[in-house]
Amino acid sequence: MATVTVLARCAAAAMWSSFLPLWLGPGLALPGAPTLASAQEIGARAYLNASQVGVGRQFVLNVEVSGTQQLDSDPELPEMEGFAGFLGAGTSTSIQIVGGRTSMAITYQYRFQALTEGTFEIGPVSVAVGDQTVRTEPLTLVISDAPPPPAAGAAPGAEPGDAGAIAPEDLFVETDLSATRVFENEPVTVEYRIFTRVPVESYTITTLPQATGFWSEELEQPSSPETAQVIRGGSEYLTATIRRTVLFPTGPGARTLDPMSVEAQVRLRAPRTFDPFADIFDLSSVRGRRLPVVVASEPVTIEVLPLPSEGRPGSFAGHVGTLGLSASLSEDAVAVNEAVTLRVEYSGTGNLRTISPPEIDFPVEFEVFPPEAADRIAEGGGSLAGTRTFEYVLIPRSPGELAIPPVEVAWFDPAAGEYGSARSQPLGLSVTGEAAAGGGAGTVPAAVEALRDEIRFIHTGSPKLRRADLSLFATGAFWAIFLLPLAAAGGALVLRRHRDRLEGDVAYARVRRANRMAKRRLARARGLASGDPRDFYGEVAGALQGLLADKLNLAEAGLVREEAGRIAARRGASGATLERLFACLDDCDRQRFAPAGAEREPPERVLERAAAIMGDLARELAK
């Protein structure tokens, strides 16, 4: 959200120069009084918060446009995806009055994470202002594994991203593996832990590692991770596990797990200052301020061994872990055309979700429906453990003693280093009755599709009669038609008053039209889903922000998130809805400025999420 910064030393002059013309009347303004109409040439410049940054650390690209406080479109950034990952963006505006001359500017701040070591050139940034386009000068960025040189005066409290504000040893993320040398499809538990010795208010995982060559199963995490105090290198750290997952390598060879990036909000205490205006115009000097810091884990390599070929059973299908097998029938005896359920259950450890339905050679007397699978899987034994069940619906079409052949399964136990197998017992079913000539359908579970449609009979009940001598004035239709003009006149009066109020009461008009305008913008975003992601995410964010501004009767251009949240909460909006709203706006900003080719959430899911937030917000603010 845009924030307006007024220089403290010019605040008094700006106030008097703005109000004196109003007091003196038109044409009586004091000579030399500064006005916002002072001409200022349009210009643009780009600069970095630091010219050198460490791999995995954050840097900020600032684009300052002077001579205006609003742009019709965002600046067009050069391609940076080869060495930087987009994290987020923000804007700020400023007005300065010096010597009777007014100058204004808007600054776009783009936060990136350095990805690759080397020296890179950041190309010119194009800025469209009205009918003219200005371009900035190119910049040079050095990304190094070595820590950046300390900046003069750098200390806690420096501007976000300033070199030296947070040292690498103050905040970092580590990757902990249960094993680095495993067999193919053997589970590896991966834990990501954050270590900090600075106050961290919150964190967000900005980049998930690319688990190429792995089947990944996310483990459940508590909403508030448990923390612990540890000593590392003689320093005390607060640590917490922020993500846990189980990986199953899908092939032999060396597999590299990419780093995971985390953006942490660090609370810093601003340094003491002797400026008398500091505590008045900058509350952050009193209660400290939040500093976004990006850290990333180191890439790790896992050596994956091929499964041994010696002793491999013919029924082996690739499962690594341990398995148990059972098979059972829901009934031992049924009549012809009555359904019976065959249940095959696998239990054990490993990647159970990849187990395929067993291949069973059923007798020809059975009509067999495709199996339904059900899983009950949880963490256990340093891996995933549970059951995977397949249920077949069988319908015998002929009488007799029928037999279902046994089911066989094999696995590889990495702890023992050998193969194992299990085999179920053959199952028998006694079928009574006589075979139907046409083979009609029997009674089957709801999951099975019906084999035929039932006949719908003609209704044979008594018809409804009405009295022939009923008076016209005693019918409801007469009075409905008689009172319709009065109702129409009343509705027209209410509609006229509603339109008059829409024209005369701006706040009322914005509130009444908020939902319609927001839905219109969301529909427009749906049409942009297949085009430029910047336009799509910008339209979604505009729909959400416009709805909030209209409902609260606030200016959308200068909407401040914290103030809008407080007003919305007082008017009935829940904290959960506001948190979802602001999280969605952050995601839109992040995706809006992400480089081409970046991984994005499907547009349909973004639209569903935005529509749900709009519905909840409109309902809560209407109370």
What was the pLDDT predicted at 153? 37
Q: Which residue in 163, 10, 4 sits closest to 70, CA to CA?
A: 4
Tens of pLDDT along 416-462? 999 999 999 999 999 998 876 554 444 444 444 444 444 555 655 66
Task: Look at residue 161 and tell me whether its pLDDT is greater than 50.
Answer: no
How many CB atoms neighbour CB 386 within 10 A?
16
Residues 567, 569: Cα–Cα separation, whole Å = 5
Q: Domains of the chain, with CATH numbers?
A: 3-144 (2.60.40.10), 171-305 (2.60.40), 320-432 (2.60.40.740), 495-621 (1.20.120)
Q: Which residue in 157, 222, 215, 166 sits closest to 195, CA to CA?
A: 166
Q: Which residue in 44, 108, 50, 5 sits closest to 589, CA to CA?
A: 108
Tens of pLDDT along 339-395? 999 999 999 999 998 899 998 999 999 999 999 999 998 887 667 889 999 999 999
* Contact assessment for residue 260 and residue 244, using Cβ atoms and an 8 Å cutoff: no
Task: Look at residue 186 and tell me whether its pLDDT is greater than 80.
Answer: yes
Task: Look at residue 9 and tell me whether its pLDDT is greater than 60.
Answer: no
Tens of pLDDT along 247-299? 999 889 998 888 888 888 888 765 555 555 444 444 444 455 678 888 888 88
**For the whole prediction, is pTM greater than 0.75?**
no
Mean pLDDT of all residues belonging to the chain: 78
Find which of 168-172, 286-290, 306-310, 513-517 is predicted with most confidence, using mean pLDDT: 306-310
Q: Which residue in 57, 60, 117, 116 sits closest to 261, CA to CA?
A: 57
Tens of pLDDT along 490-518? 888 877 776 666 555 555 556 667 777 87
Please state the length of the chain: 623
Residues 579, 582: Cα–Cα separation, whole Å = 5
What's the average model confidence in pLDDT over 25-46?
54
Task: Look at residue 621 and tell me whether its pLDDT is greater than 70.
Answer: yes
